Amino acid sequence: MEGDVVEYRIDRQSGVPAYVQIVRQTEQALRMGVLRVGDKLPTAREVVAATAINPNTVFRAYRDLEQAGLVRSRRGLGTFVTRSLARPGAEDDSPLRTDLAEWVARARSAGLDRDDVLALVTAALDEHEHQRHEHDPDDRGRKQEDA
């Protein structure tokens, strides 16, 4: 597959380093099934042309992805996805995704902006985690050990 599977967008106002944004966007594409095992990432030259960032920034992001075991660089050929992060329910055509898209549309039409929606989702996830830990004390111990 050509390097046009994912298109990186760099938000210079976010305060998040560009290489971290590339890593996060790649991970999101892997979770959503946009990127699949065997897909080729855009070349550093393509990313630089599209985003006007330093090539070393792209190389650092790709190196971090490679160290995480998500991609593999092949000299002269490019960087290829080696592992997926997709889980059932995250695909574009999943019922969960459809329900969430409808909910986001309702939230936006109610006047909520992106940060408001993210805050609501984060609060709901935090509450879910809290409730889960109350019902499974052993899980809380494992979480703390992982931290």
Is 142 a member of any domain?
no
pTM of the model: 0.70
pLDDT of 73 reads 95
In the predicted structure, residue 92 carries a pLDDT above the cut 80? no
Say whether both 22 and 77 belong to one domain: yes
Is 145 a member of any domain?
no
Is 72 a member of any domain?
yes
Is 87 a member of any domain?
no
What's the average model confidence in pLDDT over 89-108?
Answer: 83
What's the average model confidence in pLDDT over 118-140?
Answer: 79
pLDDT of 96 reads 82
What's the average model confidence in pLDDT over 74-92?
Answer: 86
The residues with which 71 forms a beta bridge, in sequence order, are: 81
- 46-74 tens-digit pLDDT: 999 999 999 999 999 999 999 999 999 99
Domain that holds residue 75: 18-81
Say whether both 25 and 71 belong to one domain: yes
pLDDT of 32 reads 86
- 7-16 tens-digit pLDDT: 999 999 999 9
Mean pLDDT score of the chain: 87
d(CA 101, CA 103): 5
pLDDT of 2 reads 45
Residue type, position 128, single letter: H
Is 22 a member of any domain?
yes
Say whether both 77 and 22 belong to one domain: yes
What's the average model confidence in pLDDT over 29-47?
Answer: 93
Is 139 a member of any domain?
no
What's the average model confidence in pLDDT over 67-88?
Answer: 93
Q: How many domains in the chain? A: 2
